[in-house]
């Protein structure tokens, strides 16, 4: 998946873009880790009971210049993008994903496009 200005989660109609108010310290505040190449990366489990369980996860990466990003829901090993709108435990996974996305919106990291 390439870095773009507008992204959406697989299976969802809602699109997101980076907020014009985004700051590097805001990314660090919500848990983004800076990579060796200067990009910012966030990984969160979509299991509401334990962040350590092997299940789906949300991953978002922001370029160092804070202009483009990518985000996806992935399998536990992070190798394959999945549609969490299908399968079992849809409601719990969506609730956790929406909590994460709402927090990113509240912190002015992303906004709805």
- Alpha-helix runs per DSSP H in the chain: 24-29, 90-106
CA distance 66 to 80: 25
Neighbours of 97 (CB within 10 A): 20
What is the CATH superfamily name and number for domain 6-112? Answer: Lp2179-like (3.30.1820.10)
Q: Which residue has the higher pLDDT, 54 or 39?
A: 39
- Average pLDDT for 92-112: 95
Q: Tokens 């200005």 appear where?
A: 5
Percent of the chain with pLDDT over 70: 96
Query: Looking at residue 87, what is its pLDDT?
Result: 78
Is the pLDDT at 50 greater than 80, yes or no? no
Neighbours of 62 (CB within 10 A): 24
Is the pLDDT at 52 greater than 70, yes or no? no
Is the pLDDT at 20 greater than 90, yes or no? yes
How open is the CA angle 25-27-57, to the nearest 5 degrees? 160
Is the pLDDT at 54 greater than 90, yes or no? no
Is the pLDDT at 47 greater than 90, yes or no? no
Query: Looking at residue 51, what is its pLDDT?
Result: 65
Write out the two tokens for 64.
Answer: 């160092």
């Amino acid at each position: 998946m390439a870095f773009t200005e507008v992204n959406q989660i697989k299976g969802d109609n809602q699109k997101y873009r980076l907020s014009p108010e985004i700051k590097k310290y805001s990314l660090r505040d919500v848990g983004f880790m800076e990579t060796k190449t200067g990009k910012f990366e966030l990984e969160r489990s979509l299991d509401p009971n334990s962040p350590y369980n092997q299940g789906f996860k949300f991953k978002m990466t922001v370029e160092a210049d804070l202009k483009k990003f990518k985000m996806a829901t992935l399998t536990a090993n992070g190798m394959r993008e999945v549609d969490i709108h299908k399968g079992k435990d849809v409601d719990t996974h969506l609730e956790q994903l929406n909590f994460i996305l709402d927090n990113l919106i509240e912190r002015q990291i992303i906004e709805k496009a």
